[in-house]
Amino acid sequence: MEPIITLPNYINGQWSTSTAAQHLAVINPATGELIAKVPLSSAAEVNEAIQVAAEAFTTWRRTPATERVQYLFKLKNLLEENFQDLASTITQECGKTLAESKGEMRRAIENVEIACGIPMMMQGTNLEDIARGIDEIMIRQPLGVCAVICPFNFPGMIPFWFLPYALACGNTYIVKPSEKVPLTMQKIFQLIEKTGLPKGVVNLVNGAKEAVDAILDHPQIRAISFVGSTPVAKYIYSRGAANGKRLQCQGGAKNPIIVLPDADMTMTTRIAADSAFGCAGQRCLAASIAVTVGEARNTFTEAMAEIATKRIVGNGLDLNVEMGPVISTESQARIENLIQKGVDEGANLLVDGRKPQISGYENGYFVRPTILQDVNPSGKIAKTEIFGPVLSLMHVNTIDEAIALVNSGQYGNMACLFTNSGAAARKFRYEAEAGNIGINIGVAAPMAFFPFSGWKDSFFGDLHGQGNHAVEFFTQTKVVVERWPSDWSRTF
């Protein structure tokens, strides 16, 4: 057995042992085994990282964008070469299946590829002769030191919604991974080190609340990207804004799908199950509520119960496994309590996934796919983000009622419709109050050249991660108006 390591930080181009007083255990959720210890770095350590990033900024911003992206080209190749290892690290610390981890890393790499186009994307605009002999131009400049605070459920992909764009735009950067899954970023920073990026340009600080608060309060932090639960997103948004920072805070979700009677039921149930149970339901775009309309109810319900019961649950490293564990024993208990709450509120527990026995993995944190039927739309189970493999079924008689139900939710991350009607699809796309919409498809994280949207309590800010929004977020515009003497024949 390999020795348990205490994870270092990466500050100013060097790996350094944290002086943290407290460490947390990093556990493989499929086996319950301790795999590393993560330091809860102090504010002083965060401040040191910000200081070196601020010093590095003065040179990095002057490095031509075409030169800056050369490091990203190198990183892309290193990520490809280490693809399998990174995917299996994600599975070991996060629990998802190897196929899901590979999908995650693929999307991370796509973000690096898109950010390599920054020399084009960062271009400004200009207009000659806004008045006779006067020109006006708008240029984009980097902000300075920026930071990302990450959740546990996509340890490889989520930092890449921001990091490559921040660097390519000329900013310097601090990454604070989730303390539950810090290993993937350790490996990625070992690759970042190999790219030869100048020291201080990108730094890794492990930690939790103290580290986050230090980022929020430091005067040299210009912009913060956050992804995590809604209460923490609100906290980061308000404290960061009070300190004058630019913010984009992606929060939690409670995603509904609507199934109309004319939908292709075989395809719909397969997609709905993947959406609800993929990554053990620990995706901010996972389906959590399915609203059947009219005659869709019986066929959809029966097929979903069958798929949920048959899903193969186990260690994500086993290639035949279709769903891994949830992240922690606390999460497992929270999900099981919410299932019981649904029953107490009057729902019918159609498929009960609590306390499964997974042979060989008795210490893992497993919850099998669970389906609650006839869930009360105003009850706690219908309103609370479960973040586990639990689907709540509701039933209405018209598409208008279904859309009203969708739009009554607190969150607005994702909503889907399954139908064969173009008119119904258009109505839904137009009226649904969510930032990511699926029509006859579950919503995966958008391709890297689209911003990752999110409405209502799923997002706080203006500009989203990825694509053009990332370029806007990581740059500030400057408008220059110029007039020069028109005496061209002048001699000196």
Measured from the CB atom, is 56 or 208 closer to ligand NAD? 208
Residue 489, exposed/middle/buried by CB under 10 A (0-12, 13-18, 19+)? exposed
Task: Decide: is 415 part of the binding site for ligand NAD (CB under 6 A).
Answer: no
State the Cα–Cα distance between residues 248 and 236, nearest whole angstrom. Answer: 9
**The token pair that represents 333 in the structure block:** 């208990």
- Judged by CB under 6 A, the residue of 95, 454, 461, 467 near ligand NAD is 454
Q: Nearest approach, Cβ of 385 to ligand NAD (angstroms)?
A: 5
* CA atoms of 454 and 439, how far apart (whole Å): 17
Chosen residue from 300, 387, 418, 473 binding ligand NAD by CB under 6 A: 387
Tell me the closest approach of the beta carbon of residue 235 to ligand NAD, in angstroms: 6
* Shortest spacing between CB 471 and ligand NAD, in angstroms: 19
Which residues have a Cβ under 8 Å from the Cβ of 102 and sit 6 or more positions away?
A: 83, 87
Q: What part of residues 141-160 is at the interface with ligand NAD (CB under 6 A)?
A: 149-153
Q: Do the beta carbons of residue 208 and residue 179 sit within 8 Å? A: yes
Q: Does 227 bind ligand NAD (CB under 6 A)?
A: yes
Closest CA to 165 of 461, 468, 476, 454: 468
Note if 284 is an active site residue. yes
Q: Does 413 bind ligand NAD (CB under 6 A)?
A: yes
Q: Which of 116, 146, 249, 284 is catalytic?
A: 284
**What pairs with residue 126 in β-bridges?**
137
**Is residue 309 exposed (0-12), middle (13-18) or buried (19+ Cβ within 10 Å)?**
middle
Report the alpha-carbon distance of residue 201 to residue 117 in Å, rounded: 19
| Contact region with ligand NAD (CB under 6 A), list: 2-10, 73-81, 110-118, 224-232 | 224-232
**The token pair that represents 436 in the structure block:** 């990511």
- Residue 372 main-chain phi, psi, to 5 deg: -105, 130
Kindly state whether residue 332 participates in binding ligand NAD, applying the rule CB under 6 A: no
Nearer to ligand NAD, 69 or 214 (CB): 214
Helix axes 296-310, 265-277, angle to 10 degrees: 50
424 is a contact residue toward ligand NAD (CB under 6 A): no
> Which range, of 48-56, 140-148, 244-252, 335-343, touches ligand NAD by CB under 6 A?
244-252
* Cβ-based nearer residue to ligand NAD, 42 or 413: 413
Q: Is there binding between residue 284 and ligand NAD (CB under 6 A)? A: yes
Q: For residues 336 and 366, is the Cβ–Cβ distance under 8 A?
A: no
**Minimum distance from residue 270 beta carbon to ligand NAD (Å):** 23
Shortest CA distance to 218 belongs to which of 428, 465, 47?
47
Query: Per rule CB under 6 A, is residue 18 in the interface with ligand NAD?
Result: no
Total count of residues recorded for the chain: 492
Site string for ligand NAD, 71-90 (x = CB under 6 A): --------------------
Distance of CA 408 to the CA centre of its chain: 24
Give the catalytic positions in this structure.
284
Binding site for ligand NAD (CB under 6 A): 149-153, 176, 178-179, 208-209, 212, 227-229, 232, 235, 250-253, 284, 385, 387, 413, 452, 454, 458
